[in-house]
């Protein structure tokens, strides 16, 4: 008896975790523009310590034991035929791909800065990008980070840690950074940044050059609409959260005014009970937090329940962002709860407990040794 087929359109963090949850019960096909999991998380580590970042955030699909039954296709998504339950895509050599489905999961995420783009890349191109960005920042005597979210704070902390002699300044428009986290998280990290020598500049709203979305490192003076004089640095990193959903391939009626996928509280698309969406692309809540809130388990349950005719579970969004912000450091890993309380994994536990048992086995159900960036 053939298993029902699930096509997962977009095979980043959310898509991959959903496939792991469903792999034993369904025939899974994952479509990805990348040849591996290339996470958009941990920007600071990616910039400052690309080899360490790559070990856990750039992982070939064949390293995941739970994906041994899953077929992956590297292709660019081009269209969706809802009537005939077919996803259209094109491989890097221009060959058209048509994948029919019994269930469809849309998890194509968003583009944001130079580190989250839906372009097709080879492993060599990915490695070159990581190295070039790291070298560019390493050569700069001064760096400005524009933005107040977790990516900006992480970048400031990790750049200052990796290059202690470098002048690093963080500019953001509100009175505090990390406005989507509990205020205690910013209070703690602000003190850490100041201790690292980072200049912290609230109340600065940048003027973006016309047609610029923050998708490259620049060196021109940064102008402010809030009245301050321009700021100068050898390298300007824009982490301004100007995200765009990767939904150009979808019918417009499935999208809200900002281009995100409209979903019910059960993560289904209205009127299409065998089509679901998860992650940054899904309009679940103001934070679009279904990826970080680990809704992959709920989504897998709801697909199985739809098939069996059982009731579905509702997704309940967290009110604040939570989790790691600056990533693994020499003294361990600090994780923030929704109430702003910080919990620390000591350094000795990272390679003995956290990564091998909690992450690679507990979350990903087994990851073979990954070849680090050379």
**In the prediction, which pLDDT does 363 show?**
93
Calculate the dihedral angle through the C-alpha atoms of 6, 9, 10, 13, rounding to the nearest 10 degrees.
Answer: -30
The encoded tokens of residue 354 equal 């956290």
Cα→Cα distances 69→30, 41, 64, 371, Å: 11, 26, 10, 22
What is the phi-psi region of residue 55: left when phi exceeds 0, alpha when psi lies from -120 to 50, beta otherwise?
A: alpha
**In the prediction, which pLDDT does 210 show?**
82
Print burial letters for 181-195: b (CB count within 10 Å at least 16), e (below 16). Answer: bbeebbebbbebbee
3-state secondary structure of 18: helix
The number of residues making up the chain comes to 374
How many CB atoms lie under 10 A from the CB of residue 365?
15
**In the prediction, which pLDDT does 371 show?**
65
The encoded tokens of residue 105 equal 């999961």
What is the C-alpha to C-alpha distance for residues 246 and 280, in angstroms, rounded to an integer? 9
**In the prediction, which pLDDT does 290 show?**
82
Q: Tell me the pLDDT tens digit for each residue of 115-124.
A: 999 999 999 9
Which residue is it, tokens 């019910």? 264
Residues 6+ apart with CB under 8 A from 314: 265, 266
pTM, two decimal places: 0.94
What is the C-alpha to C-alpha distance for residues 80 and 104, in angstroms, rounded to an integer? 10
Q: Tell me the pLDDT tens digit for each residue of 333-370.
A: 999 998 999 999 999 999 999 999 999 999 999 999 87
- Say if CB 204 and CB 238 are below 8 A apart: no
**In the prediction, which pLDDT does 319 show?**
85
**In the prediction, which pLDDT does 318 show?**
84
Return the sign of the alpha-carbon dihedral for residues 135, 136, 139, 145.
Answer: negative
What is the C-alpha to C-alpha distance for residues 261 and 246, in angstroms, rounded to an integer? 10
What is the C-alpha to C-alpha distance for residues 339 and 319, in angstroms, rounded to an integer? 10
Which segments of the chain have a pLDDT < 70? 1, 371-374
**In the prediction, which pLDDT does 289 show?**
81
Query: CB burial class (10 A; 0-12, 13-18, 19+) of residue 176?
Result: middle
Phi and psi torsions of 322, nearest 5° = -155, 170
Q: Residue 36's beta-bridge partner residues?
A: 60
The encoded tokens of residue 46 equal 């990616």
Query: CB burial class (10 A; 0-12, 13-18, 19+) of residue 102?
Result: middle
**In the prediction, which pLDDT does 373 show?**
54
What is the phi-psi region of residue 214: left when phi exceeds 0, alpha when psi lies from -120 to 50, beta otherwise?
A: left
Return the sign of the alpha-carbon dihedral for residues 354, 360, 361, 367.
Answer: negative
Q: Tell me the pLDDT tens digit for each residue of 22-71.
A: 988 899 999 999 999 999 889 999 999 999 999 999 999 999 999 999 99
Cα→Cα distances 153→24, 105, 158, 201, Å: 39, 32, 9, 12
Q: Residue 27's beta-bridge partner residues?
A: 5
Which residue is it, tokens 């047609």? 211
**In the prediction, which pLDDT does 372 show?**
56
């Amino acid at each position: 008896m053939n298993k029902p087929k699930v096509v997962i359109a977009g095979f980043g963090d959310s898509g991959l975790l959903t496939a792991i949850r469903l792999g034993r019960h369904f025939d899974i096909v994952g479509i990805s523009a990348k040849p591996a999991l290339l996470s958009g998380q941990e920007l600071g580590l990616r910039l400052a310590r690309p080899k360490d970042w790559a070990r856990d955030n750039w992982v070939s699909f064949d390293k995941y034991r739970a994906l041994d039954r899953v077929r992956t296709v590297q292709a660019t998504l081009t269209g969706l035929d809802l009537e005939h339950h077919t996803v259209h895509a094109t491989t890097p050599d221009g060959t058209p791909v048509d994948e029919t489905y019994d269930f469809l999961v849309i998890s194509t995420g968003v583009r944001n800065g130079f580190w989250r783009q839906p372009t097709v890349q080879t492993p060599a191109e990915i490695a070159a990008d990581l190295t070039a960005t790291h070298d560019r920042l390493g050569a700069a005597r001064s760096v400005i980070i524009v933005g107040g979210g977790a990516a900006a704070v992480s970048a400031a902390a990790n750049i200052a840690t990796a290059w202690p002699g470098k002048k690093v300044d963080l500019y953001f428009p509100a009175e505090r950074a990390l406005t989507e986290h509990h205020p205690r998280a910013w209070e703690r990290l602000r003190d850490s940044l100041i201790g690292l020598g980072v200049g912290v500049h609230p109340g600065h709203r940048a003027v973006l050059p016309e047609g610029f979305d923050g998708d490259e490192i620049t060196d021109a003076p940064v102008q402010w609409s809030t009245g301050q004089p321009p700021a100068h640095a050898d390298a300007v990193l824009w982490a301004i959260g100007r995200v765009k959903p990767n939904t150009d391939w979808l019918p417009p009626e499935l999208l809200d005014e900002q281009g995100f996928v409209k979903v019910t509280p059960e993560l289904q698309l209205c009127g299409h009970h065998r089509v679901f969406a998860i992650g940054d692309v899904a309009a679940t809540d103001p934070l679009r937090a279904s990826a970080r809130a680990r809704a992959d388990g709920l989504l897998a349950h709801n697909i199985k329940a739809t098939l069996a005719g059982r009731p579905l579970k509702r997704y309940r969004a967290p009110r604040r962002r939570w989790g790691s912000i600056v990533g693994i450091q020499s003294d361990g890993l600090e994780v923030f709860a929704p109430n702003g309380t910080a919990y620390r994994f000591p350094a000795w536990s990272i390679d003995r407990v956290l990564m091998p048992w909690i992450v690679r086995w507990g979350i990903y159900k087994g990851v073979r040794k990954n070849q680090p960036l050379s």
